Chain A
Amino acid sequence: MRDVVIAVLLLGAVAVELACALALLVVKDSFDRLHFLGPAATLGPVLVVTALVVENALSTNGVKAILAGGLLLLTGPILTHATARAARVRQFGHWEPLPFEEVDQD
């Protein structure tokens, strides 16, 4: 039963990461591509770390896996934001919103 749970979790994690990598190829716009860093840094690591904790419980290896997964989870949004900001500044010279982007202008 435990092996089945681990296999299902790993299958899910691999599928998520493969889908995110595939999205890099098929999605053309840089800002759209950035969204696929999200599942790769959240859902994928959580599934892998869960599988590792099922296998190792809270041994040293289990704790290290939780720390590594936690780091990926916390640093993912930071990297996404920093990259998006850099991309926007490269494109427009600044990141500030353009007039037609403000939803309060309606």
Chain B
Amino acid sequence: MAERDRNTEGESGRDGPKARLWLTWWIAFLISYMLLVGVWVAEELIAAAIVAAVSATVAEVVRVQDIRRFRPRLRWVLRAYRLPPSILADCGVVFRALWRHLVKREEINGVFRAFRIPIGGAGERAAARRALLNAAISITPNTYVVGIDEESEVVLVHQLVPCERSLAREEIMGKL
């Protein structure tokens, strides 16, 4: 009896966060719909509310499938402010390489580099960290990630204009 009571309490305890999550999705979809439509009239608000409710339900159904958890820390996402200067600098690097190839007939020889960093782990935080690392490296034009092995903690990248081999890890990770 006590166990059944505890189970019931557990189920109702989970309903609160689920409802909050559904509401968060609903608000996000409602605002997205209204931003896209751009006409703030009653009919559109009603349509937005209905569409947002359907979308929020679908989003929650997908989320509870628990296929692949992704839970980044906010400070990881906030470090994105470092990316625009890196992107601009790398655009200069690749275009300079293209220019030298066209005008001076210098060969472009991109290389693969593999290095180890501590990014292993099976949890949702570790998965989020690997995904964000992948995106942050690949968004800079001179380097992109080919693969990340979570067991051996090896990252394989390709660089168009390669840096000094021994400095590869510092050069790539130092931008992030």
**Contact flag (A, B; Cβ within 8 A):** yes
A residues with a Cβ closer than 8 A to B are 16, 19, 22-23, 26-27, 29, 31-32, 34-36, 38-39, 42-43, 59-60, 63-64, 67, 73-74, 76-78, 80-81, 84-85, 88, 95-98, 101-104, 106
CB <8 Å contact, A19 and B95? yes
**Residues of chain B with a CB closer than 8 A to A16's CB:** 91
**Residues of chain B with a CB closer than 8 A to A36's CB:** 94, 98, 141
CB <8 Å contact, A43 and B147? no
- Which residue of B38, B144, B166 contacts A80 across the interface (Cβ within 8 Å)? B144
CB <8 Å contact, A38 and B102? no
B160 within 8 A of A: yes
**Residues of chain A with a CB closer than 8 A to B160's CB:** 32, 35
Bitwise, B129-173 to A at CB < 8 A (1) or not (0) is 000001101111110111101000010101010000110110000
What are some 7 contacts across the A-B interface (CB < 8 A)? A26-B101, A31-B110, A38-B87, A39-B141, A60-B35, A81-B146, A84-B158
- From 1 to 46 in chain B, residues with beta carbon under 8 angstroms from any chain A beta carbon are 35-38
B47 within 8 A of A: no
**B142 nearest CB across to chain A (Å):** 7
Cα–Cα distance between A39 and B86 once the two chains are bound (Å)? 12
**A59 nearest CB across to chain B (Å):** 7
B116 within 8 A of A: yes
Cα–Cα distance between A80 and B146 once the two chains are bound (Å)? 9
**Residues of chain B with a CB closer than 8 A to A60's CB:** 35-38
Residue of B nearest to A76 (CB): B139
CB <8 Å contact, A96 and B149? yes
**Residues of chain B with a CB closer than 8 A to A42's CB:** 87, 91, 139, 141
**Residues of chain A with a CB closer than 8 A to B141's CB:** 35-36, 38-39, 42
Beyond A26-B98, A42-B87, A43-B88, whether A35 also contacts B142 by CB under 8 A is yes
- Which residue of A23, A67, A101 contacts B156 across the interface (Cβ within 8 Å)? A101
| Most B C-beta atoms less than 10 A away, residue of A26, A34, A98 | A34
Residue of A nearest to B95 (CB): A19
CB <8 Å contact, A97 and B144? no
**Residues of chain A with a CB closer than 8 A to B108's CB:** 27, 29, 32
**B161 nearest CB across to chain A (Å):** 9
Cα–Cα distance between A81 and B160 once the two chains are bound (Å)? 14
Cα–Cα distance between A74 and B134 once the two chains are bound (Å)? 12
Cα–Cα distance between A103 and B101 once the two chains are bound (Å)? 27
CB <8 Å contact, A26 and B146? no
CB <8 Å contact, B165 and A77? no
| Most B C-beta atoms less than 10 A away, residue of A29, A42, A67 | A42
Beyond A59-B38, A63-B38, A85-B147, whether A38 also contacts B115 by CB under 8 A is no
